[in-house]
């Protein structure tokens, strides 16, 4: 029994070594073609040595080559042997190029941290190099090791411990055979303050800039992801992020409507001049009724022209149906029905039902919701509204709020308790949003760009 087990183990080890040799060779070829072209210097040097060895191969035999004149077959065999050895040398060189430094060390650490497959084997480290556009980031390529991408995601902490780097991103190569991690050294930090500059405004329709992450500028495109939910405890910076998005939307030519039930202090006079702001439920109901009527009008117009969305309709009919954004700084102030009279509850239900229509149908008709909340209560947002909001962003928060916004406790775990303007998306990316001054950005003129 013991023998069978040992044989099995030895066979698996042999298979693994064979697989490793093959993968390192393939990675070596990829490195020479794409990632580290400079390593072709080694291949060139080898070719030079190999050419010399070929030219002077006779000398390698220390005079024995005189026997070749008697036995020409020996000469042919010897030539083939030299060619074979030189080829073998080239294969070994490419495999060495395809083996990252300290690969064995990282694999041993992955075993110690418990990140192995069902056969207790760690993934093979195939390549490790600096991100071509951002030298702060490191790219690690592993073979998928019969482990699903979701397991890689779920075991990020084990992997992080082994690589001693913070994992920002996990993805699979196009053929699914490699898993590619983007990491950053824990010493690299996002700056605590980033100032908005007008030239950051995206020219892409209808892309809004959220802030900067360690892998670049973080954006959301309302043409693809129509609604946004922002969360974060008081002082986390969500009002400023909400205003950053609305400011860009206005500069891109959108109509913006705001429900501000927090006492009207967050939106300075310039906002009142540029967009309609509601302060009470009756006004809000009127506004939402007119917005859903507009949605129905757009629906009929698009149907008549057989267009699938706003952009197509505008292009086909030379019209300019603007994007419409309804924003709310604290949705719980509006939708929380607890303790109210029957009449008031009815009013709130109507508001909720209009919001629900925009959440479900708004995308095609260029109508969007950007909703913020700090109240950790799961029943404030109805399932219909929540399930239609795909972009969810949370700042500093406790476990409950993080769970409500992101469906995970990541914001509570990853955003420092004293952070301002630091957020995490539901895709797990942390970014710092831009700080800006209302009066300054609006006085620089409203250009309709990429709308
Ligand atoms: N992107 C940012 N960078 C740096 N500091 C920021 C940023 N955003 C906000 N802050 C700071 O945090 C403070 C609070 O921001 P903000 O009012 O947006 O928070 P909030 O989450 O909306 O809080 P509340 O719900 O209590 O209004 C701001 O006065 C500002 O000093």
**Residue 451 placed within a domain:** no
**What confidence tier does 188 reach under pLDDT thresholds 50, 70, 90?**
low
Comparing CA positions, the residue from 376, 379, 365, 418 lying closest to residue 396 is 418
**Residue 66 placed within a domain:** yes
Given a cut of 70, whether residue 368 has pLDDT beyond it is yes
Q: 325: helix, coil or strand?
A: strand
- Do 92 and 109 reside in the same domain of the chain? no
**What confidence tier does 264 reach under pLDDT thresholds 50, 70, 90?**
low
What's the CATH number where 340 sits?
3.40.50.300
Of 13-17, 135-139, 264-268, 310-314, which one has max mean pLDDT? Answer: 310-314
Given a cut of 60, whether residue 96 has pLDDT beyond it is yes
Q: What distance in Å separates the CA atoms of residue 153 and residue 344, rounded to the nearest whole number?
A: 45
**What confidence tier does 92 reach under pLDDT thresholds 50, 70, 90?**
very high
- Do 54 and 18 reside in the same domain of the chain? yes
The pLDDT of residue 372: 92
**Residue 163 placed within a domain:** yes
- Do 214 and 174 reside in the same domain of the chain? no
The pLDDT of residue 56: 83
Start-to-end CA span in the chain (Å): 72
**Residue 338 placed within a domain:** yes
The pLDDT of residue 85: 93
Given a cut of 90, whether residue 214 has pLDDT beyond it is no
- Do 175 and 230 reside in the same domain of the chain? no
Given a cut of 90, whether residue 451 has pLDDT beyond it is no
**Residue 114 placed within a domain:** yes
**What confidence tier does 246 reach under pLDDT thresholds 50, 70, 90?**
very high
Contacts of 339-346 with CB under 8 Å at 24 or more apart are: 344/281
Domain count, the chain: 3
Would you report the helix, strand and coil content of the chain in percent, each value rounded to 5? 50, 15, 35
437 lines ligand 1 (CB under 6 A): no
193 lines ligand 1 (CB under 6 A): yes
- Do 77 and 130 reside in the same domain of the chain? no
Integer angstrom CA distances of residue 242 from 70, 266, 360: 90, 11, 21
Element (H, E) at 162: helix 156-163
pTM to 2 decimal places: 0.70
Instruction: Tell me the per-residue pLDDT of 416-450, one tens digit each, with 9 for 90 and over.
Output: 888 899 999 998 889 999 999 888 878 765 455 55
Map tokens 């229509």 to a residue. 357
- Do 305 and 428 reside in the same domain of the chain? yes
- Do 46 and 180 reside in the same domain of the chain? no
Q: What distance in Å separates the CA atoms of residue 391 and residue 405, rounded to the nearest whole number?
A: 10
Average pLDDT for the chain: 87
Report the residue among 191, 240, 327 best suited for mutation to probe ligand 1: largest number of ligand atoms under 8 A from its CB. 240
Instruction: Write the burial class of residue 265 (CB in 10 Å: 0-12 exposed, 13-18 middle, 19+ buried).
Output: exposed
What's the CATH number where 133 sits?
3.30.70
For 403, phi and psi rounded to 5 degrees? -65, -40
* Domain span holding position 414: 198-443
Rg (CA), the chain: 31
- Do 118 and 49 reside in the same domain of the chain? no
H helix intervals, 305-437: 310-317, 331-335, 342-361, 383-387, 399-406, 410-414
The pLDDT of residue 12: 80
CB 394 within 8 A of CB 232: yes
- Do 87 and 131 reside in the same domain of the chain? no
234 lines ligand 1 (CB under 6 A): yes
CA-nearest residue for atom 25, ligand 1, is: 234
- Do 49 and 139 reside in the same domain of the chain? no
Which position has the higher pLDDT, 323 or 264?
323
Point out the domain boundary residue: 184, 213, 239.
184
**Residue 189 placed within a domain:** no
- Do 260 and 352 reside in the same domain of the chain? yes
**Residue 190 placed within a domain:** no
Given a cut of 90, whether residue 210 has pLDDT beyond it is yes
- Do 256 and 114 reside in the same domain of the chain? no
The pLDDT of residue 251: 92
DSSP code of residue 214: T
Given a cut of 70, whether residue 257 has pLDDT beyond it is yes
Given a cut of 70, whether residue 63 has pLDDT beyond it is no
145 lines ligand 1 (CB under 6 A): no
Least confident of 132-136, 148-152, 163-167, 227-231: 132-136
**Residue 234 placed within a domain:** yes
Given a cut of 80, whether residue 122 has pLDDT beyond it is yes
114 lines ligand 1 (CB under 6 A): no
How close is the Cα of 186 to the center of ligand 1, in Å? Answer: 25
CA 436 remoteness from chain centre: 25
Q: 439: helix, coil or strand?
A: helix
Given a cut of 60, whether residue 145 has pLDDT beyond it is yes
Given a cut of 70, whether residue 69 has pLDDT beyond it is no
Point out the domain boundary residue: 33, 63, 97.
97
Point out the domain boundary residue: 75, 97, 119.
97
How close is the Cα of 33 to the center of ligand 1, in Å? Answer: 48
Report the residue among 196, 398, 420 best suited for mutation to probe ligand 1: largest number of ligand atoms under 8 A from its CB. 420
Instruction: Tell me the per-residue pLDDT of 395-411, one tens digit each, with 9 for 90 and over.
Output: 999 999 999 899 888 89
The pLDDT of residue 67: 64
């Amino acid at each position: 029994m013991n023998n069978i087990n040992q044989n099995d183990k030895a066979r698996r080890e042999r298979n693994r070594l064979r697989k490793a040799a093959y993968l390192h060779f393939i990675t070596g070829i990829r490195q020479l073609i794409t990632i580290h072209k400079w390593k072709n210097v080694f291949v060139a040097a080898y070719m030079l040595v190999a050419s010399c060895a070929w030219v002077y191969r006779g000398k390698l035999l220390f005079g024995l080559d005189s026997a070749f004149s008697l036995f020409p077959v020996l000469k042919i065999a010897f030539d083939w042997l030299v060619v074979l050895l030189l080829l073998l040398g080239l294969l070994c060189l490419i495999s060495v190029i395809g083996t990252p430094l300290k690969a064995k060390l990282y694999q041993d650490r992955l075993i110690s941290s418990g990140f192995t497959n069902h056969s207790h084997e760690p993934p093979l480290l195939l390549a490790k190099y600096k991100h071509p556009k951002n030298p702060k980031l490191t790219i690690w390529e592993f073979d998928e090791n019969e482990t699903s991408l979701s397991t890689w995601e779920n075991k990020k902490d084990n992997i992080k411990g082994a690589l001693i780097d913070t994992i920002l991103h996990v993805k699979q190569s196009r053929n699914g055979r490699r898993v590619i991690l983007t990491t950053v050294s824990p010493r690299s930090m996002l700056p605590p303050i980033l100032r908005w500059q007008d030239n950051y405004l995206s020219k892409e329709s209808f892309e809004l800039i959220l802030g900067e992450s360690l892998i670049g500028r973080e954006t959301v495109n309302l043409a693809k992801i129509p609604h946004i939910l922002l969360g974060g405890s008081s002082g986390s910076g969500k009002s400023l992020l909400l205003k950053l998005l609305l400011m860009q939307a206005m500069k891109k030519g959108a109509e913006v409507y705001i429900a501000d039930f927090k006492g009207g202090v967050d939106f300075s006079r310039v906002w009142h001049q540029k967009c309609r702001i509601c302060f009470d439920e009756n006004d809000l109901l009127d506004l939402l009724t007119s917005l859903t009527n507009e949605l129905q009008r757009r629906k009929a117009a698009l149907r008549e022209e057989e267009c699938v969305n706003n952009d197509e309709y505008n292009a086909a009919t030379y019209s300019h149906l603007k994007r419409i954004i309804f924003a709310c700084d604290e949705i719980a102030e509006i939708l929380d029905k607890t303790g109210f009279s029957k009449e008031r509850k009815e009013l709130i239900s109507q508001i909720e039902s209009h919001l629900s229509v925009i959440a479900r149908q708004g995308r095609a008709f260029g109508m969007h919701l950007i909703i913020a909340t700090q109240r950790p209560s799961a029943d404030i947002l109805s399932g219909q509204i929540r399930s239609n909001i795909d972009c969810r962003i949370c700042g500093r928060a406790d476990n409950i709020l993080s769970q409500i916004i992101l469906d995970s406790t990541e914001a509570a775990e990853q955003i420092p308790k004293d952070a301002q303007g630091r957020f995490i998306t539901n895709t797990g990316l942390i970014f710092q949003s831009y700080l800006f001054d209302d009066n300054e950005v609006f006085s620089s003129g409203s250009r309709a760009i990429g709308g």
